[in-house]
Amino acid sequence: MIPGMQKLKLLWQGYLPLETTFWQYAILYGLLLNIVTTVAALFLVVLDVPIAYAAIVHLLPVPYLILTAVGVWRSADRYGHHGNFPLFARLAVLAWSAFWFVA
């Protein structure tokens, strides 16, 4: 299996550490992906391309948002330390995904 695909499989299954899944995959990579697609969608609007194309570009990160939300949720189930981080991570990734979905 391709190494990147293996990481995504581990992410989906929740086998990556919660800190990595949340901060690296959901927040950092999600932020970068959403900024790029939002800028691209706005660029298409400025170029007077049909709005449907801009909407499609804007929604391209949705599968990744779902992937990371599921990964965070499942990683939180496996989190071995005490504290509220699993609950925080779950709520934060849902809010983060919802924000980028409507932004």
Does 46 lie in the same domain as 70? no
Average pLDDT over the chain, rounded to an integer: 93
Question: Looking at the 3D structure of the chain, how many domains does it have?
Answer: 2
Q: How far from the centroid of its chain's Cα atoms is residue 12's Cα?
A: 11
Residue 11, domain member (yes or no): no
Domain with 50 in it: 30-60
Q: Which residues of 1-23 are buried (b: 16+ CB within 10 A; e: fewer)?
A: eeeeeeebeebeebebebeebbe
Assign 1 a pLDDT band (cuts: 50, 70, 90): low
Residue 13, domain member (yes or no): no
Does 100 lie in the same domain as 68? yes
DSSP tag of 66: H
pLDDT at 2 over 80: no
Residue 2, domain member (yes or no): no
Does 92 lie in the same domain as 67? yes
Could you read off the pLDDT of 15-67 as tens digits, one per residue? 999 999 999 999 999 999 999 999 999 999 999 999 999 999 999 999 999 99
The C-alpha torsion from 90 through 69 and 26 to 101, rounded to 10°, is -110
Residue 23, domain member (yes or no): no
